[in-house]
Structures are given as structure tokens and as C-alpha cells.
Amino acid sequence: MITVVIPTIGRPSLAATLAALEPSLPVIVADDRPDRQAREALAVPGHVTVVHSGGRGPAAARNAGWRAARTPWVTFLDDDVVPGPGWAEALEKDLADLPADVAGSQGRIVVPLPEGRRPTDAERNTAGLAEALWPTADMAYRRSVLEDVGGFDERFPRAYREDADLALRVRRAGHRLVRGRRRTVHPVRDDGFWASVRLQRGNADDALMRRLHGPAWRQAIGGAPGRLRLHAVTTAAAAAAVLAAGVAAVRAGAGDRRGARRALSAAASAAGLWAGLTAEFAWRRVAPGPRTPGEVLRMAVTSVAIPPVACAHRLRGEWRVRR
């Protein structure tokens, strides 16, 4: 009745995901490593089927997985989650006797946070999965519905927005999505100092979401308002400060002292706006966290980098969707 599909790039966490599943449950692992890396076989139990998607991203990997399944239901898990005790039995109960108009069932994601201190920015970001709608960290769909809507849109190259896009298309086709009672743990992992900056690549995918689902797409998926406009103002202020300072230097070199003073005044105003917006952004990220020296340093440095990086990725995304 149910096949579990897990896309992976060979992360060590896959072993814990597979170990938490009942051996009697059909499991397909979609190996999305580039072909040259996939020549070395994944270490998976003998009952697990492996398909290859050639390093084209999680959307393509999930499509390869569900298309290889032959059961009425396909449940998607990420390769860094751990299904809870009794998960398979709870999944069967979640899917049993669902009305025909229900196309999918969402699992309950549990994100264990550290005790005795406030969570860091990265930990809070992961904890958001507990309230997110339709994450493929644990999401079951009728295979027939996946066929009808064409599965995941492979223009989404990252593990970001491709699950929300699928859910919106499924609902637009007249189906309902419900929340089940099964529980899956999503551990928090440390992705490094620059993780929050790398996450800004998702702004390119937001451009595709807007193109596909209109300007209200964020409300449709229950998301909070984004900060891209403020990032654009912050970036523009920084660029204006640098430009004005350059103009001041040129005019001072030409002996135009009055022009140089005006340009320096403009540079100071723009720099003040940039500093104020950057400080507000950094404090917004620091205030709810543990405020340790390392966390404060990370927030300060990355809060400077994020606005221009976010804007650059969004422009790249807009250019891509217009092509």
C-alpha cells in the first residue's frame, strides 16, 4: 500500500533514517549524487531499492523515486530525519480510509532543541519545520495524484520551495491535504559559520514561486512576510555610500571642495542608513538567541553579508524565470 522514497546525496545521516524504518516497508532511495560519485554504491540494507537521478536536485530525485514505486501511496522522507517509534503503523492509520478528495497526509515534525539555553539562529530556522505546511521531510501523496500533476517541478534545484509548489498545484487541482498523527524527528545540524548566507540562494526559487503562483504565494503556504525589500534598501544604501565617497574623492582631487563636501555628506547619510538597517537586522537575529560571543559574532558578520547576497540571488532568479 505504501512505498517510502528518500532522496539522498549520500549523507551519513541516511543510515539512521533507514534504521528507523520497518524492514517490511518498501523503501526506494533516490541517489542524487553526480554520476561520477554514484559509481560507488550506497551502503543500504538489502531490501532497499536504489534508483539514480544524476545529481539534478531533490525534486528530480523524488520524481525518480515515486515513478519507480508501484503502491497507491508514496511517502517522502528526507535523508536527515528519524521516524519515531511505531512510525510505520502510525502512517498506515493516517492513510487508512481517507476520503477520495484527500491527496496527501503530512507527518508531524519534531525538532529537538537544546535544553538550558535559548536556540541559535540556525536552530530556530530548523525548528520552523515543526509548523511548516507540507514539508517533504515527511509527506505522503497518492501516486495517482502525483501522476496527474506531473510530480515535482524540477526547475526547483534545491531542497527549497519544491514541496510547497507541489502542494499548491495539488490543491489547485481540487484535492485536500491533511495532517496525520505520525511523528518524525528532524535533528538540528551545524552547517557552519556561513550557513545563513548560503540559504539566501532560496531567493532565486522565490522568484519562480511568484511567477508560478502569483504575488500572494507566500500567504498561500502560510509563510511569514519576507525581508527582501529591506535587504534591497540596505544594499542600495551601501552602494550609494561607496559611490558618493568615490565622487567626493574625485571632486576633492579636482579642487572642488564644495562639491566634495556635498558628496561626503551624501555618503555619510547613506552609510548611516546602511548601518542602522544592518544593526536592526543583526539585533533581530541576536536577541532571541543565546547571545554567546560566537553567536553574536556570527550574526554580526552574516547580517552584513546577507542583504547583498539575497538581492543578487533574487535578481538571478528573476532573470532565469524570464528566460
113-152 pLDDT per residue, tens: 999 999 999 999 999 999 999 999 999 999 999 999 999 9
Does the structure show a pLDDT above 70 at 38? no
Could you report the per-residue pLDDT of 214-273, keeping only the tens digit for each? 999 999 998 888 899 999 999 999 999 999 999 999 999 998 989 899 999 999 999 999
Close Cβ partners of 89 (under 8 Å, ≥ 6 residues apart): none
pLDDT confidence of residue 39: 66
Could you report the per-residue pLDDT of 269-312, keeping only the tens digit for each? 999 999 999 999 999 999 999 999 999 999 999 999 999 999 99
pLDDT confidence of residue 43: 86
pLDDT confidence of residue 225: 85
Does the structure show a pLDDT above 90 at 189? no
pLDDT confidence of residue 118: 95
pLDDT confidence of residue 36: 67
Could you report the per-residue pLDDT of 16-33, keeping only the tens digit for each? 999 999 999 999 999 999
77 and 58 in contact (C-beta within 8 Å)? no
Q: What pTM value is reported for the model?
A: 0.91
pLDDT confidence of residue 23: 92
pLDDT confidence of residue 190: 86
